[in-house]
Structure 1
Amino acid sequence: MRFHLEDMTCGGCVRGVTLAIHAVDPDAVIEADPPTRTVEVTSTATREEIEAALVDAGFPPQPARDP
């Protein structure tokens, strides 16, 4: 799953995003790239569960942008 997080701009943001996703799925694999504000997630959780966790953490996802 790919997400565009407009508010993810630094390493601290990546930590918050990672904690939020791991609260839903501790085994999720997360690749975050603050310069492009994208997050790639491999998880058994549903997209809706991850989106809800990101919204709760203050990082509402936007539609993913193609590079």
Structure 2
Amino acid sequence: MQLQIDSMTCGGCARAVRATLLDLDAEARVTADPPARRVEVETTASLQAVQAALAEAGFPAVPVTG
């Protein structure tokens, strides 16, 4: 899944996003692109679980469609 995270503005934010997602699913594959404010996640967790974890960490995310 691809997510837009407008509050992910730097490498530190990207590391926090990655850590949050790995806490949710230790086997997740996470690729962050801070300049584009996007993250690609391969996980067995649901979109809702991913969004909830990121929102709780201060990184609200919306799915990228198309």
* Aligned residues with identical type, % of pairs: 44
1:7-46 correspondence runs (5 A):
7-46=7-46
What residue is the counterpart of 1:5 in the other structure? 5
Question: What does the per-residue CA deviation read over 1:20-62, in whole Å, with 9 as the maximum and x for residues that have no partner?
Answer: 1011101100010001000000001111111001001100013
TM value normalised by structure 1: 0.91
What residue is the counterpart of 1:62 in the other structure? 62
- SS at 2:62's partner residue? coil
TM value normalised by structure 2: 0.92
Cα RMSD after superposing both structures = 1.3
- SS at 2:27's partner residue? coil
Unaligned runs of 5+ in 2: none
